[in-house]
């Protein structure tokens, strides 16, 4: 997911930062800030460090740029999860105790979906690896009602039964493919 996000961030032009996104509460810059902060927040859960609010999105872009800031934060998470036994470790999360590997599905899905949001908003490639979309859909489908109730997802968008994995995931999370 990080690898798919990186070129999208690199392709965003400064004049696109105030453009709306399919994630209707946030413009492009706010969605970039959210993605950086999600990675920082996830790392704090894995390492026990001080967290950040991933929903406080009115900051300016970091001076090193969106791509560099996101990659630095994502690389911290990737380093943390490579510690032997980390993915099996039970973590205290805002959603209760759970194995780190299960918790990791949440930011994985967040990155995958917001990659699409940013690509769509900035006229870039909205393609999505079908196996990643399928894994994300299967992980998020049981949580979809809670996601809608908490405001994380919009109302489900109906897609055809034979729709692609990407389109099923987007519809589940309130996006029109």
DSSP letters along 28-41, please?
HHHHHHHHHHHHHH
- Residue 53 has, within 13 A of its CA and on its CB side, a CA count of 6
Please state the pTM of the whole predicted model.
0.93
Reported residue count of the chain is 177
* pLDDT tens sequence for the chain (177 residues): 999 999 999 999 999 999 999 998 899 999 999 999 999 999 999 998 888 999 999 999 999 999 999 999 999 999 999 999 999 999 988 888 999 999 999 899 999 999 999 999 999 999 999 999 999 999 888 888 887 887 788 889 999 999 999 999 999 999 999
């Amino acid at each position: 997911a990080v690898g798919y996000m990186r070129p999208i961030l690199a392709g965003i032009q400064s004049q696109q930062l105030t453009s709306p996104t399919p994630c209707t509460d946030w413009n492009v810059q706010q969605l970039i800030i959210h993605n950086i902060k999600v990675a920082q927040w996830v790392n704090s859960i894995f390492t026990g460090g001080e967290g950040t609010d991933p929903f406080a999105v009115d900051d300016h872009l970091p001076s090193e740029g969106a791509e560099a800031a996101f990659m630095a934060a994502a690389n911290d998470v990737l380093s943390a999860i490579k510690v032997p036994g980390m993915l099996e470790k039970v973590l205290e999360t805002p959603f209760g105790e759970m194995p780190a590997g299960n918790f990791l599905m949440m930011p994985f899905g967040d990155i995958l979906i917001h990659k699409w949001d940013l690509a769509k908003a900035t006229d870039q490639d909205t393609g999505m690896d079908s196996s990643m979309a399928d894994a994300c859909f299967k992980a998020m489908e049981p949580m979809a009602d809670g996601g809608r109730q908490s405001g994380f997802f919009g109302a489900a968008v109906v897609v055809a039964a034979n729709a692609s994995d990407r389109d099923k995931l987007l519809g589940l999370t309130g996006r029109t493919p």
